[in-house]
Structure 1
Amino acid sequence: MQFAAKLTGWARVAVTVALVSLIAACGGGGGSDNNSASNSSSGSNSLPASPGATPVAANAGNTAPITVGRGVANVINIPTVTVTVCVPGTSTCQSIPNVQVDTGSYGLRIVSGALNIGLPTVAAPTAPGKQLVECTIFADGYSWGSVRTATVQIGGETAINIPIQVLGDVSFNVPTSCASGAEENTANEIGANGILGIGTAPVDCGSTCASASTFAQFSNYYACSGGSCTTTQVPNTSQVTNPVTGFADNNGVIVEMSPVSNSGNGSATGTLVFGINTAANNKLAASQVFTTDAFGDLNNSTFNGSKLTAFFDSGSNAYFFADSSLQQCGSNFSGFYCPSSGQTRTVNVVGLNGVSAAANIGILSAATLFSNGNNYAFNDLAGQIGGAGSFDIGLPFFYGRYIYFGIDQTALGGQAPFVAY
């Protein structure tokens, strides 16, 4: 998931978020412990050593280049790839650049303003004659749009005829159970032309929306007709689907980002690799592997002596956590931390398999980092979460690391979901 903290102008930080019902978690690095040089205590007045792993070349069929830069809306720390969507069974396709890589959500969502082809709509499975529409909840708002089917291509990988969401394409009234905060259906509001959710879950809601006993209270899907929409039960096969599950290399992904300077870079590059241990370029070479819950959360982690949920989320443009010892910025950079000197904080990440590791993060003043309006990639930006129950290990942690996300295949008798670095 991602936590939104918005600024104005160049530094507007639209951290597009995962579905609230799908809080995720994951972690990673490549080959060795890239936190190696720092075991600093949580009060250290310095930054941890920066990891230095470099991405593999994005020239194989199971890879796609990642770019962090100005993007479509001048939003910092938004990793993007190009995604091609096609009308199933036809050669009618469109390549859409600047789609956010989000390991904290599940499924492809495209803003309607970026889509120029007509994709088939999906009928509500348990409400014949009505259209299936989804409410996607973000930390600071929501998106509202139809479920459609598409063939999805990224790099040389293809998922045939899967459900995706198109944001802002319907005129149905938004139900009060969905509307919370601002409606966000455009590239400017989201910070990208879409969201590529490639976290550990195969679908975006799972049993919560599929079960007859829970959908009425928790489903984010609606059956719509005329001017009304009602919450509806949706089986996994009709839910917005993690495209990776339909690829040839379908058991997970690796997000590999190049290192950046502690003061920030104008841009950054990386490689999105599909599959884990399925090809020569995606071997699992991690110092620690953490099994997670169904949505990638590490619920037994600790920070400052308190138990919390940690998760690794490329869709969050900063670290987000609660720490009263860190000075917050003023109103110009509301929601971010502005310590007077470099700081290290340590979150102890713990998997369901008992594997634990101290993840050290660096924090510099957001005001200092944002003083250079030409930089869009930062590895030591942090902000405040409203509560103390979560530690969002966002994109800054990914720079200079390989982070692995193993997709949950337990329903097929396969692997449990995991994250690794």
Structure 2
Amino acid sequence: MRSLWLRPCRLFSGAALVALVSLVAACGGGGGGSNNSSNGGGSNSSGGGGSAVPSPTQQPTAAGAANTVSVTVNSGLTGTLPNIPTVSVTICKAGTSTCEKVDNVQVDTASFGLRLLASALPNLLGTLPTTTAGSGTLAECTAFADGYTWGTVRSADVKIGGETASNIPIQVIGDLAANTVPQACAGFGAAQNTVQDLGANGILGIGVAPYDTFGEYYACPGNTNCVTATVAQTQLVANPVPKFGADGNGVILEMAPVSDSGAPSATGTLVFGIGTQPNNAMNASQSFVTDSSGRLSSTFNGRTLQTFLDSGSNAIFFADSALPQCGGNLGTFYCPSSTQSFSAALASNNGATSGTATFNVANGNALLGSGANYAANNLAGQFGSSADLDLGLSFFYGRYVYYGMDMTASGGKAPYVAF
């Protein structure tokens, strides 16, 4: 679905964007949605419809330390996608100083691993070795809410800010012929293998999982006739964060607050490590253990929903038949006559802790209709599964959102999110 939305939210999580030219709904999750909507309730701990509440106002840490990188939201590469947070990433041939910087890489806290378009590596691509599976080249199909990425798995050094993940598997998108896409992969929807389709030069998946075990891997003898492959963990596309040494236990995405009427751009800081440096102390007031993909649960509008905090979704997505949808170019974004507040009662995946997520929903047409705004802290809509509450980038402005890596394989902490 290519519209004023886009976005990489994994099929199991959610994401999409809208295009100011022909917008449809945005991202969703859970492998597809149903048409069932829930009814809005009164203003309480598990519903909404109340008067607007003050937006959060935390200011991001200055990006300058080695464990930080600046985050930018603006008109981007296509000028059609709001709420797309991006960073710059440098890719090197492993163990060498042969490198290439790639700007406009989307930050996605609900997927795992780095994926870059082949077109974003014009000088380096030929030097990056492909990974072998059996007698063929290893490729991956990665399903997102609005389509799929397809391309080879290659090894590279990944540098972000002053951090380095050495010699890890990444996905290069679009370096195989379109006719090599397996039928099962094509079934996920439209190919997201170009800048125009993806809306960015790549996707930086920094969710809680250390490896992308959710994608589908294929062996492609002669780069054709691709068949399903079983691969070792060392060959899986890797989340670079756990490879960052002392700062590899998690990330903090800190987005600056924006006006409740929207803004042309926004800034933020991505901080690596939690409690490892003076600039990344754990100061969250609420923390929740998640499952291996970063999900927790919530009670919202009288229903129990799967919930995730996903910077790869460009709005907050949930089903509510009491909220009017914008229609037209803005599709299934919500357009209430006045800004309303909503609250969801959150619970850890293991039931140990609980808390509340509160957010506003404003009129999508007032926020985006002029085509001048690309950042909005109260943009919401309906997309994907009605069993999900997707707290997309709108929820992040003015907040510090923490993601603790899943370290259970080595006897460490379970994955968690906090804010």
TM over 0.5: yes
Name the structure 2 match of 1:62.
67
Q: Structure 1 235/408 Cα, relative in aligned 2: closer, same or farther at 3 Å?
A: same
1:312 maps onto 2:312 in alignment: no
Q: Which runs of 5+ in 2 are unaligned?
A: 1-8, 33-42
Q: Distance in 1 between matches of 2:395 and 2:139?
A: 34
CA contact (8 A) 1:19 1:137 kept: no
Tell me if structure 2 keeps the 8 A contact 1:17–1:137: no
- Report what 2:360 is aligned to: 362
For the structure 1 residues 77 and 336, does the alpha-carbon distance in structure 2 shift closer, same or farther, using more than 3 Å as the test?
same
Give the corresponding residue for 2:176.
170
SS at match of 1:44: strand
Question: Taking structure 1 as reference, are residues 319 and 157 closer, same or farther at Cα in structure 2, changes over 3 Å only?
Answer: same
Report deviation, 1:17.
8.0
SS at match of 1:322: coil
Whether the 8 Å CA contact 1:14–1:191 is kept in 2: the answer is: no
Which amino acid counterpart does residue 61 of structure 1 have in structure 2? A
TM-score, L = length of structure 2: 0.88
* Residue aligned with 1:277, SS: coil
1:76-132 Cα offsets, whole Å, 9 max, x none, are 1000110000011211100111101110100000011111212110111xx2x2100
> One-letter code of the match for 2:365?
A
Q: How far 1:15 moved relative to its partner?
A: 6.0
Select which of 113, 120, 123 maps to 1:114. Answer: 120
Equivalent position amino acid for 1:390 in 2: D
The aligned amino acid for 2:182 is P
Contact kept? 2:45, 2:345, Cα under 8 Å? no
* 3-state SS of paired residue (1:182): coil
- Residue among 141, 155, 172 paired with 2:147: 141
1:179 partnered with 2:186? yes
User: Cα deviations across residues 215-252 of structure 1 (Å, max 9, x unaligned)?
Assistant: xxxx6111112431111111221100000111121000
Q: Is the 8 A contact 2:152 2:173 kept in 1?
A: yes
**SS at structure 1 position matched to 2:366:** helix
SS of the equivalent of 2:242 reads helix
2:205 is equivalent to residue 197 of structure 1 = yes
2:306–2:387 contact (8 Å) kept in structure 1: yes
Corresponding position of 1:326: 323
User: Quick one: distance in 2 between partners of 1:385 and 1:14?
Assistant: 6
- Letter aligned with residue 130 of structure 2: T
Cα-to-partner distance string for 1:159-189 (whole Å, 9 max, x where unaligned) = 0000000110012511111103211111221
Deviations 1:232-291 (A, max 9, x none): 111221100000111121000000010001100111111100000101100100111101
Against the structure 1 CA distance between its residues 68 and 98, is the aligned structure 2 distance closer, same or farther, given a 3 Å change threshold? Answer: same
1:26-175 matched pairs, under 5 angstroms: 42-74=47-79, 75-116=81-122, 117-118=124-125, 119-124=128-133, 127=134, 129-171=135-177, 173-175=180-182
How large is the Cα RMSD of the aligned pairs? 2.0
* 1:115-157 deviations in Å (ceiling 9; x for gaps): 1212110111xx2x21000111121211111101110000000
1:301 to 298, 303, 307: 298
Following TM superposition, by how much is the alpha carbon of 1:365 offset from its aligned partner in structure 2, in angstroms? 1.4
Q: Does structure 2 conserve the Cα–Cα contact (< 8 Å) formed by 1:319 and 1:381? A: yes
Q: Could you tell me which amino acid in structure 2 is paired with residue 348 of structure 1?
A: A
> Counterparts of 1:346 and 1:195 in 2: how far apart (Å)?
30
Amino acid at match of 1:59: G
**Are 2:350 and 1:343 aligned?**
no
Residue 6 (structure 1) shift? 3.9
Q: Following the alignment from structure 1 to structure 2, what is the Cα–Cα distance between the partners of residues 237 and 341? A: 51
Residue 248 of structure 2 is aligned to residue 240 of structure 1: no
Aligned to 2:404: 406
User: Judging changes above 3 Å, is the alpha-carbon distance between structure 1 residues 319 and 304 closer, same or farther for their aligned structure 2 residues?
Assistant: same
Q: Which amino acid in the other structure matches residue 169 of structure 2? A: P
Query: Secondary structure of 1:183's partner?
Result: coil
Aligned residues: 388
> How far apart, in 1, do the equivalents of 2:329 and 2:287 lie?
39
Amino acid at match of 1:123: T
Distance 1:137 1:203 in 2: 15
Task: Give the drift of 1:355.
Answer: 1.3
- The 2-side partners of 1:311 and 1:107 are apart by 18
1:220 to 216, 220, 225: 216
1:387 to 371, 385, 388: 385
The answer for the alignment partner of 1:229 in structure 2 is: 226
Identity over aligned pairs, percent: 54
